[in-house]
Amino acid sequence: MRPLEGVRILTFEQFGAGPYASMLLADLGADVIKIENPAGGDASRHVGPHMLASGDSQYFQTWNMNKKSVALDVKTADGRAGFERLVKTADAVMNNLRGDQPEKLGLDYASLKSINPKIVCLHISAYGRDNERKSWPGYDFLMQAETGVMGLTGEPDGPPTRVGASMVDFMTGATGATGLLACILRAQRSGIGCDVDTCLFDVAMHQLSYSAVWYLNERDASRRQPRSAHLSVAPVQTFPTADGWIFIMCMTDKFWTNLVNALGRPDLKVEARFATPALRRKNRDALTDTLDAELRKRPTQEWIETFAGLLPVAPVYEMDEALDAEFPRRTGMVCNVPTADRPDFRVLGNPIKVNGARAEQVAAPVLGADNEAILGNATSAPAASMQESA
């Protein structure tokens, strides 16, 4: 039995943050029902370049496995009635619409508590529902720009750079899922549900972490560091090898000692410029030059084998190299989930294990696949799309 079996979640979602949140919950056993407009459904079904013969896309499959789909327009009388019947059976309703949309569409707790007092309503928006930006659309990259995440990313002499993956979307989804589960637990004890909110902007800013605390208290503004180096610890950065790059993290004196011993340079332990963490940070440029000269002598894989278990280390891969590597295949992070037209379709495994096992996954549903099973004969006529991006 998967841990969330018996929990039913209705979701109005598209693209990243919302679908990522509900996918985590579906993989863990929740009965996640995507309520999609009959006129096209989740917009990500139609995002290329890699389409599937079933009318969906690989982009859509990425975040929508293990879910069900009901095609229903809640702006119609029949659609609203069908939705409210589902609310009576559900533990939660979630959305990642613009902040001004949930109240208008009747997806908040005030609108639904008379139908189901225990219902929990998760709202994932761009900027929140309680400020002057609630009607603004927004996306991951904008949040990285405005909160300073881009300002911390890239080389010091280059332009601010966004993180390559949509990490704000995914962190916001994970944050929303955490808040939703906490409130479901409270509702099960108290019999009273609630609204729970998170937004892309808040989560992006929260990722500034200790850099924000340093600035807010000491006016110490962190800046981009060469070679993705840590702000306050050295050596923690990329280094060139004979055939590529390696990332080494000597976060403690123990790892620094293990590094210089493995390099055959125990003299560096007593080198005056590098004797303490503070001195290594102060003399980072000289330390980098010294280590560059040593690490260029051998290829990356030889260094990985030399350092394995002695200090935190990793090869620096391009994305294709990372996905073709043996380790994620052995651990099940790359796995096969057949679709109707692609029996060899491969996806990423869920990062959570329960009793040592990853969640089983099934392909995302076609639009309206579960209408009859969930709604019976209830139908709704196609209408203009009701969903808007966060």
CATH numbers and ranges of domains, the chain = 8-206+331-375 (3.40.50.10540), 245-315 (3.30.1540.10)
**pTM of model > 0.75:** yes
pLDDT digits (tens, 9 = 90+) for 345-368: 999 999 999 999 999 999 999 999
List of residues 6+ apart from 65 with CB closer than 8 A: 23, 26, 27, 337, 347, 361, 362, 363, 364
Residue 79, number of CB atoms within 10 A of its CB: 24
Give the span between the Cα atoms of 234 and 89, in whole angstroms.
Answer: 55
Query: Which distant-in-sequence residues (6+ apart) come within 8 Å of 77 by Cβ?
Result: none
Give kind and range of the element (H or E) at residue 321: helix 319-324
Q: For the segment 192-228, what is each residue's pLDDT rounded down to a tens digit?
A: 999 999 999 999 999 999 999 999 999 999 999 999 9
Render pLDDT for 310-328 as a digit per residue (tens, 0 to 9): 999 999 999 999 999 999 9
Query: Distance from first CA to last CA of the chain, Å, rounded?
Result: 34
Mark 234-259 as b/e (b = at least 16 C-beta within 10 Å).
Answer: bbbbbbbbeebebebbbeeeebbbbb
Question: Does the annotation mark 169 as catalytic?
Answer: yes
Distance of CA 201 to the CA centre of its chain: 14
Query: Tokens 């009576």 correspond to what residue?
Result: 88
Distance of CA 346 to the CA centre of its chain: 19
pLDDT single digits (tens) 134-155: 999 999 999 999 999 999 999 9
Average per-residue pLDDT in the chain? 95
Other CB atoms within 10 Å distance of the CB of residue 131:
11
| Active-site residue, from 169, 197, 220, 253 | 169
